[in-house]
Structure 1
Amino acid sequence: MIPKPEKPETMFDRDFEWAELVRYAGYQGPEATLGVVSGRRRQGKTFLLDGVCRATGGFFFAASEATEAESLRQFGAAMARFQGRRTPYRFAHWDEAVEAMMRLATPDTGPLPVVLDEFPFLVKASPELPSLLQRALGPQGRREGGPVRLLLCGSALSFMGNLLSGTAPLRGRASLELVVPTLDYRSAARFWGVEDPRLALVLNSVVGGTPAYGREFVLGDTPADLDDFGPWILRNVLNPGRPLFREARFLLAEEPDLRDTALYHGVLAAIAQGNHTRGGIASFLERKSTDLGHALTVLEDTGLIMRDPDAFHGKRSAYRIAEPILTFYYAVMRPEWSDLERPGQAPAVWERSQSTFRSKVVGPHFEQICRTWARWYASADTLGGQRTRVESGTVADPTARTSHEVDLAVFGRTDDGRETLLAIGEAKWNETMGTGHLDRLRRIRELLRKRSGTDAAGTRLLCFSGAGFSDGLRAAAGADPSVQLVDLERLYGGE
């Protein structure tokens, strides 16, 4: 049995991704295979793939945004260096380059990983490249080539998503489709080395789980404690001399499908300001709702926003920004951009932005983390069953002529397959929760029990708070097993 390469000690987490890449790279079949690796920028895809190539002796080529001729020269030089040749290859066309690449491995050498990083750059200059790879991976190419383990990598999510879809040339060819996600909030806290859950959460609300933001972008600068969080923001995020200052703008500029940038900036600003429905976004931008369909679809396809369905209304949905640094930029930085670009103004901007930061950045992020906890970390004992989905939603209250927002609704299934509402919850970041919040949840549960089609007979009530709970609420939870109190310590370490 061939020993599997060990994950580098310098690589944090990514156990699943490493195992899948090693399994793919070590497949002993005689034919060439195709794998696709994607994910948002700064997540460590290149680090992963380079690590696999170093561990297995594979060939790694990082493409740049260049013309076809320049890309071919770079590829030929890289391949010559890999083979120890003194003179670079001179490829006139990509069909020659692909043919040579597929012969890097032979039955005698065994499987060889070959990585084309930033593959969208190559296709932008040479649109025929996917078709050439399709031919190389077809029956004739397999007879002429060797056991190359080809890996195509890219950060343009819409492009990479379409690479294997529909009638695309490479549809049905891939043996691996790996998405490298951002680190979740618990992993991110470990990555930053932050043990205080309150500090971990406010830090996560700004930089999320993107590994590069904790290393290259801040040179390892981590807030020492909660009191250092504000100074850390001034040192690294509101500082024009640091890369995080313009990162949000670069994230949009790097997406090839975003052409009408003014509209996309406007949509993201609207969402960051608390407008989560299509109608709310349209009103903020003073446009017709029908004018936003394409922009919302493109932003969703590129992974910059997510559309969450309403838990209780199938035709309704809410949009949220997927990357925390974007929310922070559009809520806090963009409205103050002219002042932030002037030296010495950042402290004043940060001081007057505290209310916005709490309500537009940390508050919504706390709600999302609570949904993440309920989806992946809460036990069946806590929720009253095995969950199938966790969403937010609104519940109409005809008697009071109002509607109630439900921060999270946890659904499961009964033994006979019927869907049941396991729990509903409310999340308050900067507010001590009391019995009034519990009474509101009980009212919502009563409304849901009266609704046809909703099984809420055993629905539990979850109270999430970043500021704590009143003695009265603690006493009520102690007397009622259906009430669960979840504080920051439980979010970060309990179930």
Structure 2
Amino acid sequence: MEKPAEIFDRDAEWDELVRFARMPRTGAALGVVSGRRRQGKTFLLDALVRSGGGFMFTATESSEADALRQYGQALGDHLGEPTPLRFVDWDEAISRTMTLAPQGPLPVVIDEFPFLARVSPALPSIIQRALDPAGQRSNTQVRLLLCGSALSFMGGLLSGTAPLRGRAGLELVVRTLDYRAAARFWDIGDPRTAMLVNAIVGGTPAYRHEFTQDDTPAGPEDFDDWVVRAVLNPARPLFREARYLLAEEPDIRDPALYHSVLAAIADGRTRRGEIANFLGRQPSDLAHPLGVLEDVGLVIREDDAFKNNKGVYRTAEPLLTFYHAVMRPAWGDLERAGRSRQVWPRLQRTFLSKVVGPHFETICRNWARWEADSDILGSYPTRVAAGVVNDPAARTQHEVDVAVFGRDDQGREELLAIGEAKWNETVGLSHLNRLAHIRTLLRGKDGIRAERCRLLLFSGADFAEDLYSRAAAEPGLRLVNLDRLYAAT
């Protein structure tokens, strides 16, 4: 079962699916595949089924009776029956499904499983009973894969006292492509262009093919034209995609409230109190909507690097940030065909400050956590975050874009490095001096071991000449540009 050539990357995901589908054991086995929409889950599973000669059913929003009719039709077609199979209930349908593999492992996929389970709440229990060796009516080797995009629902399938708890032999999350893989996927060789595109569409594969019809910026000089013709064009699907992302989530009952929360985060109000002030509400009122947005994978909460009881909220989907920071305030103008080219120039400053800048900082943190080697950091990083450092003498606070922590030989946490990230300005000695001052403050702070703390300066533009000479002379100082961020490991 070789991975089809049309599947980009996803080597680890494909290997896990193949391992599960070919698992040499008697009896049925259960796997759960989840991930946000547009990540290629169905594409992967369809390729698996075609390679392994299995059966795949993709559910739709329908009543239980209609879903059973559709399932019987699909299963009958798979078996070559002259007429559709008819099932009285899901107990009968699942029992019939479990007879599909009497002679060897066979992948069976039920895609969009939450649609079925919501109208047939007993379905997980029915599947659990069918997986029980005492409940299997034949020597089946079905490898049943349940797939869905409703992250909170799919996570709940295997948690707590859920019927399928402890039954799954595979729990696979299909994540978005990282920024490096996304650059290769979009076939963009220029790091600056790749970063700008990633700040808008992130690593969601569908946004290149289905949503932009393979329209890729030809280079830095083509980026603005690409934004106008592919993103801000009312005739292209990507134009309204951010709105549909919320509408497709069944757990979101009041889209206006959730859009307002996302707008506050895109505006830089990342703490709960700041979001509440932006919305004119009490912080306690936002516990539920923020929790729902976290559950569906659209928002993530990150702890402050230096204060465990403090945290910030960030949008997990770059397209949502771009929509709320750039598109939403100018929606009336952008909806009129042909106006995007006149509107985009006045939106670019906001794009750079509220979209690209924060996104660049996130990429720098990801690089420090997963890509930087021990020669740069001095040790293996165990966590990376942003944080705020108090400066009592100056009666102010300093924001740290990148704080890298590791463990010493005794297992104690230590601060390996702190860093500052600037997207659109030349980084010079003033940035270095500020960072060195923050390091001095941290070394005097109780509970933080920063004796070996190094300094990292990230720039999306360039570094001053005198900074290059300082970095060459100081082993504890590292300069990281876009070429370094995108360099292959």
TM range (shorter): over 0.9
User: Are residue 159 (structure 1) and residue 153 (structure 2) matched?
Assistant: yes
User: Are residue 436 (structure 1) and residue 430 (structure 2) matched?
Assistant: yes
Contiguous gaps of at least 5 residues in structure 1? none
- Give the whole-Å Cα distance in 2 for the aligned partners of 1:127 and 1:142: 21
Does the CA-based 8 Å contact 2:31-2:171 persist in structure 1? yes
User: Are residue 31 (structure 1) and residue 54 (structure 2) matched?
Assistant: no
Q: CA RMSD in A?
A: 0.9
The answer for the alignment partner of 2:328 in structure 1 is 334
Does the CA-based 8 Å contact 2:26-2:139 persist in structure 1? no
The answer for the alignment partner of 1:270 in structure 2 is 264
Q: SS state of the match for residue 338, structure 2?
A: coil
1:10 Cα deviation after fit:
0.8
The answer for the alignment partner of 2:445 in structure 1 is 451
- Give the whole-Å Cα distance in 2 for the aligned partners of 1:91 and 1:351: 59
- Give the whole-Å Cα distance in 2 for the aligned partners of 1:262 and 1:213: 24
- Give the whole-Å Cα distance in 1 for the aligned partners of 2:24 and 2:480: 49
- Give the whole-Å Cα distance in 2 for the aligned partners of 1:184 and 1:376: 11
User: Are residue 175 (structure 1) and residue 130 (structure 2) matched?
Assistant: no
- Give the whole-Å Cα distance in 1 for the aligned partners of 2:135 and 2:192: 56
Which digits, 9 at most, give the CA deviation of each residue in 1:46-83, with x for residues without a partner? 01001110111010111111111111111101101111
Does the CA-based 8 Å contact 2:455-2:476 persist in structure 1? yes
* Counterpart among 187, 193, 196 of residue 193 in structure 1: 187
* Counterpart among 380, 383, 387 of residue 386 in structure 1: 380
- Give the whole-Å Cα distance in 2 for the aligned partners of 1:142 and 1:310: 51
What residue identity is the alignment partner of 2:81?
Answer: R
The answer for the alignment partner of 2:472 in structure 1 is 478
1:14 Cα deviation after fit:
0.3
- Give the whole-Å Cα distance in 2 for the aligned partners of 1:27 and 1:143: 20
- Give the whole-Å Cα distance in 2 for the aligned partners of 1:89 and 1:446: 73
Does the CA-based 8 Å contact 2:334-2:343 persist in structure 1? yes
Which digits, 9 at most, give the CA deviation of each residue in 1:406-458, with x for residues without a partner? 00100000011111100000000001000000000100000010011111001
The answer for the alignment partner of 2:458 in structure 1 is 464
User: Are residue 51 (structure 1) and residue 47 (structure 2) matched?
Assistant: yes
User: Are residue 246 (structure 1) and residue 246 (structure 2) matched?
Assistant: no
User: Are residue 96 (structure 1) and residue 128 (structure 2) matched?
Assistant: no
Query: Which runs of 4 or more aligned residues in structure 1 lie more than 3 Å from their structure 2 counterparts after TM superposition?
Result: 142-145
* Counterpart among 383, 405, 409 of residue 411 in structure 1: 405
Which digits, 9 at most, give the CA deviation of each residue in 1:160-219, with x for residues without a partner? 111111111111110000000000000000101101000000000000001111111111
The answer for the alignment partner of 1:139 in structure 2 is 133
1:144 Cα deviation after fit:
3.8
TM-score (norm 2): 0.99
1:335 Cα deviation after fit:
1.0
- Give the whole-Å Cα distance in 2 for the aligned partners of 1:349 and 1:145: 65
Aligned residue pair count: 489
Tell which deviates more after alignment, 388-397 or 121-130.
Answer: 121-130
User: Are residue 129 (structure 1) and residue 123 (structure 2) matched?
Assistant: yes
Q: SS state of the match for residue 485, structure 1?
A: strand
- Give the whole-Å Cα distance in 1 for the aligned partners of 2:60 and 2:167: 25
Q: SS state of the match for residue 403, structure 1?
A: strand
* Counterpart among 9, 31, 40 of residue 5 in structure 2: 9
Q: SS state of the match for residue 69, structure 2?
A: helix
TM-score (norm 1): 0.98
User: Are residue 22 (structure 1) and residue 18 (structure 2) matched?
Assistant: yes
Contiguous gaps of at least 5 residues in structure 2? none
What residue identity is the alignment partner of 1:14?
Answer: R
* Counterpart among 34, 38, 47 of residue 42 in structure 1: 38
Q: SS state of the match for residue 249, structure 1?
A: helix
Q: SS state of the match for residue 246, structure 1?
A: helix
The answer for the alignment partner of 1:235 in structure 2 is 229
Query: How much identity, in percent, do the aligned residues show?
Result: 63
The answer for the alignment partner of 1:285 in structure 2 is 279
The answer for the alignment partner of 1:114 in structure 2 is 108
1:143 Cα deviation after fit:
5.1
